[in-house]
Amino acid sequence: MGIRHAAAWVHTPARIVGVTSPNRAKAEEAAAPYGAKVYDSFTALLENVDVVDICTPTHLHHSMVLKAAAAGKHIVCEKPLALTMWQTHEMIAACEAAGVQLLVAHVVRFFPEYAVAKGIVDRGEIGRVGVVRLSRCMFKPARDNPDSWFHDLDKSGGMMFDLMIHDYDFARWVAGDVESVFARNIAPKFPDAAGDHALVILRHTNGALSHVEGGQAYPAPMFLTSLEIAGDQGLIEHRAQSSIPLSIYLHDSGTDAHVQAAVPTSPLERDDDPYVVQIKHFYDVLTGKETNLRVTAADAAAAVQIAIAAIESTRTGRRVMLKDVVS
Amino acid sequence: MKIGMMSFAHHHAESYIQNLRAIPDVEVMGIADDDTERGKHFAEMFNTRWFESYEALLAEKPDGVVVCSENARHRPLVEMAAQAGAHVLCEKPLATTVEDAQVMVDMCEKAGVILMVAFPMRFSPVIGEINRMMRAGGLGQIFAVNGTNQGECPKHLRAWFVDKNLAGGGAITDHIVHIADLLRWMLDSEVMEVFAEANHILYADETDLETGGLVSLTFANGTIATIDCSWSKPRYYPTWGGLSLELIGEKGVVKVNAFKQVLTVYTHARQRPHYAYWGSDANQAMIGEFVAAIREDRAPAITGYNGYKVVEIVAAAYRSVEMGEVVRLNV
């Protein structure tokens, strides 16, 4: 994701001046296209930048955000913001105290189909939102690399955190704050499944309901997303596989099964690319050109809270009230 | 074979009477209905005899009857039919309470008559295809099922659909049953736990009953499932709604859309897209099974017990909504 963010920053007036990674070769590869310097440590990098973009495994976000805030640097942080509520609170408090921006990359809010749907809801075109359905199903990421941090629950939080947080956040964006969560996943009962699959029911404070499905048990390279928002005055439906503008079937095309983690692709103008739109938005916020953040740090914290509640619900088998998720 | 129609309260009776007539050697005796106007109306429409009472119809010794009364009025009609020795096909849901369902099953058993419940989805060739694949082990163990059976609020079809006393409830009563029955059958496992959330936002001006519902089921074999039973399709949707299943299995994933065999039609008259269904009529196969079970003097493919188990799940869903807790069922 660091590579992808870097490629997006290029489309702003900002300059990528430094890269750091525990893997020196990877850092050099990432830095080369931009003539950026490779730093041996995050601390050394911090001394030479105005903004840091943190795309490390999730469990490292907390300490890095605290360091960056202490250094007075603005921060872009990959989602999920953190894996616990106390960490999110500390991170947000530190950024507030330091007077730096904390921009969490919930990129789904910048995907055009999701952003357009949000606009339709906000303009009241479908009335009051009643039932939302969101789905994000794919194969297990990095399945050829058992050492990947994606597989370590302590580092990524697992699929119900890392993948599904996109849709917890989007559900909140279109239907408001969440009051309770009920969730079931297959991993505990079926550890030999190709990946986890979870079915989550959210009740929003305003009475709306959301069904959030996340899956990594699909065969590669499948990646299917869908959204459906039913209001009392209309309905929005979107299925990624029904909105494919190009279908190309070549003889002997071969397939590459060694995909690290698939990202849905759709041919768009560069300026409409969600990752570019997201970084440009963050740049505009940092330069004061834009004041309304599309994703606030509080939004990111609320998404973390829903993820924790969902996982807690699969563990206890019961509905979890969000107000009880405090740490 | 003589078949009588008991009540046209449910609009499915309009299909079933035509399905019956399409079967050789089946004679539709006529229609009895406690709503005289309705009974006469449909007797005239379908050019069949009108009986002034259920007793009058049953007195002529039908081999079987089709009960399409309001949900809460299934029980008295099924009891009458059983006492008269007539085999019964009862519209879904079998009953609005577990107690009613139990009594109906017991009574038909004692009377030695068939009690079949109208779950036509079991006869959908689309469902049949995937069911055969699953039974042959083509998907391996099924881990999870994401099901939807959404529709429009059916009030415009019959006002009683949104009358709690007659319907038993709203979207949860109306649209859990098909998928719950299919999954019990396809997974060959019983529901162990039920959790449900419901709300009243869509079609709120048409009814006080729940119009949105999300239900989570956990089966004894470990399969997790959800059913979206919401009346979340607007009246101007291209069709009434639909039924979909996404099955996550050991060997892969299957997405089922039982009503995808449609033409998209645009007409000046409608001023909006409309789906024209061209798939097979599952009702025809279901009615055929009822007639065949009577002829062959055997249990039908869908028994009263199957209907009872689904009523149990619906009741558990309402209990869960009320308590905000998971409801456990005895397996």
The CATH number for A26's domain is: 3.40.50.720
pLDDT tens per residue, range B49-89: 999 999 999 999 999 999 999 999 999 999 999 999 999 99
Question: A148: burial class by Cβ within 10 Å (0-12, 13-18, 19+)?
Answer: middle
Kindly state the tokens that stand for A183.
Answer: 């969730």
Does A289 fall in a domain? no
A190, A208, A219 ranked by CB distance to B143: nearest = A190
pLDDT of residue A259: 47
Q: Out of A88, A106, A124, pick the residue that ends a domain.
A: A106
Average pLDDT taken over every residue of chain B:
97
User: Shortest Cα distance from A266 to chain B (angstroms)?
Assistant: 22
A63 and A156 in a single domain? The answer is: no
- Helix B282-295 to helix B12-21 angle (10° resolution) is 60
CATH code of the domain containing B243: 3.30.360.10
Average pLDDT taken over every residue of chain A:
93
B201 and B258 in a single domain? The answer is: yes
- If you average pLDDT over residues A33-50, what whole number do you get? 96
pLDDT tens per residue, range A73-112: 999 999 999 999 999 999 999 999 999 999 999 999 999 9
C-alpha B150/C-alpha B172 separation (Å) is: 10
Kindly state the tokens that stand for A80.
Answer: 């999920």
CATH code of the domain containing A269: 3.30.360.10
pLDDT of residue A243: 82
- Chain B residues interacting with chain A (CB cutoff of 8 angstroms): 141, 143-144, 146, 148, 193, 195, 197-204, 211-214, 216, 218, 222, 224-226, 228, 230, 232-234, 237, 246, 248, 250, 252-253, 324-326
B239 and B166 in a single domain? The answer is: yes
- DSSP states along B67-115: E-S-GGGHHHHHHHHHHTT-EEEEESSS-SSHHHHHHHHHHHHHHT--E
Does B291 fall in a domain? no
Residue A292 confidence class, pLDDT cut points 50, 70, 90: very high
B143, B198, B204 ranked by CB distance to A186: nearest = B143
A96 and A135 in a single domain? The answer is: no
What is the three-class DSSP state of B291? helix
pLDDT of residue A327: 86
- If you average pLDDT over residues B212-217, what whole number do you get? 98
Residue B280: Cβ within 10 Å count: 14
- Distance from the Cα of residue A221 to its chain's centroid: 20
B262 and B158 in a single domain? The answer is: yes
CATH code of the domain containing B94: 3.40.50.720
Residue B266 has pLDDT above 50, yes or no: yes
Q: In chain B, whose CA is at the least distance from the CA of A198?
A: B144
Q: Out of A57, A82, A106, pick the residue that ends a domain.
A: A106
- Distance from the Cα of residue A115 to its chain's centroid: 15
In total, how many domains does chain B have? Answer: 2
C-alpha B255/C-alpha B165 separation (Å) is: 36
Q: Which residue has the higher pLDDT, A2 or B237?
A: B237
Q: Out of B90, B118, B146, pick the residue that ends a domain.
A: B118
A151 touches chain B (CB under 8 A): no
A128, A190, A209 ranked by CB distance to B197: nearest = A209
- Interstrand relation of B262-266 and B273-277 (parallel, antiparallel or unpaired): antiparallel
Kindly state the tokens that stand for A168.
Answer: 């917890």
B143 and B265 in a single domain? The answer is: yes
**Strand boundaries in A232-280, DSSP class E:** 234-239
Residue A255 has pLDDT above 90, yes or no: no
In total, how many domains does chain A have? Answer: 2
Residue B319: Cβ within 10 Å count: 14
pLDDT of residue A263: 55
Are A197 and B143 within 8 A, CB to CB?
A: yes
B172 and B47 in a single domain? The answer is: no
A28 and A129 in a single domain? The answer is: no
B89 and B24 in a single domain? The answer is: yes
Q: Which residue has the higher pLDDT, A204 or A252?
A: A204
A193, A228, A232 ranked by CB distance to B201: nearest = A232
Interface test with B, best of A167, A232, A239, A321 (most B CBs within 10 A): A232
Does B164 fall in a domain? yes
Are B228 and A133 within 8 A, CB to CB?
A: yes
From chain B, pick out residues whose CB is under 8 angstroms from the CB of A208.
199, 201
Whether A231 and A211 have beta carbons less than 8 Å apart is answered as: no
From chain B, pick out residues whose CB is under 8 angstroms from the CB of A164.
none
For residues B122, B127, B132, B136, the Cα torsion angle rounded to the nearest 10 degrees is -120
B167 and B82 in a single domain? The answer is: no
Whether B143 and A184 have beta carbons less than 8 Å apart is answered as: no
- The angle subtended at Cα B131 by Cα B126 and Cα B133, nearest 5°, is 100
A54 and A130 in a single domain? The answer is: no
- If you average pLDDT over residues B5-14, what whole number do you get? 98
- Helix A112-122 to helix A165-175 angle (10° resolution) is 20
Percentage of residues in chain B having pLDDT higher than 70:
100
The domain of A188 spans 108-283+295-322
pLDDT of residue B140: 96
pLDDT of residue B178: 98
Interface test with B, best of A179, A180, A182 (most B CBs within 10 A): A182
Are A235 and B228 within 8 A, CB to CB?
A: no
- If you average pLDDT over residues B197-206, what whole number do you get? 98
User: Cis omega (within 30 of 0) on the bond before A80?
Assistant: yes
B208 and B235 in a single domain? The answer is: yes
Q: Which residue has the higher pLDDT, A308 or A146?
A: A308
- Distance from the Cα of residue B77 to its chain's centroid: 17
Q: So what's the ipTM on this one? A: 0.93
C-alpha B15/C-alpha B4 separation (Å) is: 14
Are A199 and B224 within 8 A, CB to CB?
A: yes
A193 touches chain B (CB under 8 A): yes
Residue A261 confidence class, pLDDT cut points 50, 70, 90: low
From chain B, pick out residues whose CB is under 8 angstroms from the CB of A213.
146, 226, 246
Residue A17 has pLDDT above 70, yes or no: yes
Cβ-based neighbours of B112, under 8 Å, separated by 6 or more: B85
Residue B292 has pLDDT above 50, yes or no: yes
From chain B, pick out residues whose CB is under 8 angstroms from the CB of A185.
224
- Of A224-238, A262-276, A297-311, give the lowest mean pLDDT range: A262-276
User: Cis omega (within 30 of 0) on the bond before A245?
Assistant: no
The domain of B213 spans 121-279+311-328
